Amino acid sequence: MYGGGYIFDEPNGKQLREEQQHDDPEKLAVFEERIARGEKIEPGDWMPTEYRRQLIRLIEQHAHSEIIGALPEGTWITRAPGFKRKLALIAKVQDEIGHGQLLYNAAETLGKSREAMINDLLSGKSKYSNVFNYPAESWADVTVIGFLIDAAAIVNQVANAKGSYGPYCRALERICYEESFHLKQGHDALITLATGTPAQREMLQDALNRWWQPIMHFFGPPDKSSQHSEKLMQWKVKMASNDDMRNQFLDAYVPKLWELGLTLPDPNLKKNAATGRWEYTDPDWNEFFKVIGGDGPCNKERLNVRKWAEEHGRWVRKALMNPKEERALPVA
Ligand code: FAQ
C-alpha cells in the first residue's frame, strides 16, 4: 500500500454536519452567486466543505473508472483482429490511463493525495463504474464497450465539462476529444461485425444482450432514488440528472442500433412521441447495488490486477521518489 494520507480528511456524518455549520454564511452566499453566474471555481477559492467532499468523491470515482476501465479491453490487445485494430486498441487503452492521470490530478487540487485515493480503491472503499465489473468475453464485447460505453461516457462528460469546478471541467474537455475518437473506432468495429458473416452478427447480438443492463445502470439510479443529484445539480457539478442523461443516450444511440437490424433485450423500449422520453423496463437495481458494493462478476479480479500492479511497481516509485538512495545501492 502507498504511505500517503489525506491532506483533506474525509469527515464522518457528524463531523460533516459540524463543519458545514462552520461554513461562513456570507462566504456561502458569495460562492452560490458565483455558481449562479456560471463562474468557474478554482482550487484556491473558498468553497463549502460539502462541495469539496462531493467533488473529491465524484472525480476520484471517475479516475478509478478510467484506470479499471482499461482492464476489460486491455486483455484483448493481443487478440484484436488484425494489426490496425491492435494499434487502435493499444492507443485507446493508453488514452484511458491518461484520463485517469488527468482526473487524479484534478482531484488532488481539492486536497486528497493520489496515494490516499489509490489506497481507497485497493481497499474497496472507493467505487468505480459498475460496467467494468463484467467480463469482456469476445471481440464483440470490446466493440460494444468501444461504441456504447464510450458513447455513454461522452454524454455524461460533455454535459459536466460545462460545470462549475475549473480543473475538472478542463480535464473533461480534453478527455472528450479523445473519447470521440474512441467512439469512432467502436463504431467502425460495430459496422464491421453488423455487416459481416452470420456468426459475426450473432456474436455482436449476444454481446449487446449481455451488456444492455449494465449500460442502463451506467448513468446511476433513477432520479427519485439518486442521493447526490439534487445538491450536485444545484452546485453545477452535475449538469443533468441521471434519468436525463440516460434519456439523451437512448435518444442518440438506440436508433443507430435498430438501423443495423440489431435488437435490444427489452420489449418495452420505445420513445414516447408525445413526451419525447424513452420508456423502458426498469433494469434490476438490486443487481446494480450488488455490483457497485463489490460483489459483481469481476470485482475481485479487477482489484487483484491493480493490487498486483501496485506491488510490482513499488520499486519504480521508490526509485523515482528517492533517486539518491537508489543510486547508492550496490550494482548487482
Ligand atoms: N457505477 O446519488 P447517485 C468511462 C453510486 S468513465 C458505480 O445518483 P451521483 C470511460 C454513486 O457513486 C465512467 N457507482 O450518484 C471509459 C453513489 O454512491 P456513493 C465513469 C455508481 O454521483 C469508457 C450511489 O451510487 N464516469 O466509462 C454508479 O450523483 C470505456 C448513488 O448514486 C464517471 O464517473 C455507477 N454507474 O451520480 C473507460 C463520471 N452510478 O458514492 C474505459 C462522473 C451511481 O454515495 C472504456 N460521475 N453510483 O457511495 C458522475 O457523473 C456521477 O457520479 C454518476 C452518479 C452520474 C455516475
> What are the pLDDT tens digits along the chain (332 aa)?
443 444 555 555 555 555 666 789 999 999 999 999 999 999 999 999 999 999 999 999 999 999 999 999 999 999 999 999 999 999 999 999 999 999 999 999 999 999 999 999 999 999 999 999 999 999 999 999 999 999 999 999 999 999 999 999 999 999 999 999 999 999 999 999 999 999 999 999 999 999 999 999 999 999 999 999 999 999 999 999 999 999 999 999 999 999 999 999 999 999 999 999 999 999 999 999 999 999 999 999 999 999 999 999 999 989 998 877 655 555 55
Identify the residue whose C-alpha is closest to ligand 1 atom 21: 220
Burial zone of 101 (CB within 10 Å; 0-12 exposed, 13-18 middle, 19+ buried):
middle
CATH of the domain at 207: 1.20.1260.10
Contact yes or no for 41/166 (Cβ under 8 A): yes
CA of 227 to the centre of ligand 1 (A): 12
Cell of 148: 456504447
Terminal CA-to-CA distance of the chain, rounded, Å?
27
In a domain, 328, yes or no: no
CA of 233 to the centre of ligand 1 (A): 14
Number of C-beta neighbours around residue 273 at 10 A: 7
In a domain, 127, yes or no: yes
Identify the residue whose C-alpha is closest to ligand 1 atom 33: 62
Pairing of β 278-279 and β 270-271: antiparallel
In a domain, 312, yes or no: no
In a domain, 50, yes or no: yes
Q: Report how far residue 246's alpha carbon sits from residue 18's, in angstroms, rounded to the nearest whole number.
A: 36
Number of C-beta neighbours around residue 243 at 10 A: 18
Query: pLDDT tens digits for 156-202?
Result: 999 999 999 999 999 999 999 999 999 999 999 999 999 999 999 99
In a domain, 327, yes or no: no
Residue type, 324: K
Q: Report how far residue 235's alpha carbon sits from residue 254's, in angstroms, rounded to the nearest whole number.
A: 31
CA of 295 to the centre of ligand 1 (A): 16
In a domain, 167, yes or no: yes
Out of 134, 215, 227, give the residue to mutate to test ligand 1, the one with the largest number of ligand atoms within 8 Å of its CB.
227
Number of C-beta neighbours around residue 235 at 10 A: 21
213 lines ligand 1 (CB under 6 A): no
Domain around 93: 13-307
The tally of domains found in the chain comes to 1
In a domain, 165, yes or no: yes
Identify the residue whose C-alpha is closest to ligand 1 atom 55: 220
In a domain, 315, yes or no: no
- Please choose, from the candidates 9, 49, 51, 28, the residue with its C-alpha nearest in 3D space to the C-alpha of residue 236: 51
CA of 218 to the centre of ligand 1 (A): 7
Out of 68, 121, 127, 160, give the residue to mutate to test ligand 1, the one with the largest number of ligand atoms within 8 Å of its CB.
127
Out of 58, 76, 147, 285, give the residue to mutate to test ligand 1, the one with the largest number of ligand atoms within 8 Å of its CB.
58
244 lines ligand 1 (CB under 6 A): no
List 270's β-bridge partners, or say none.
279
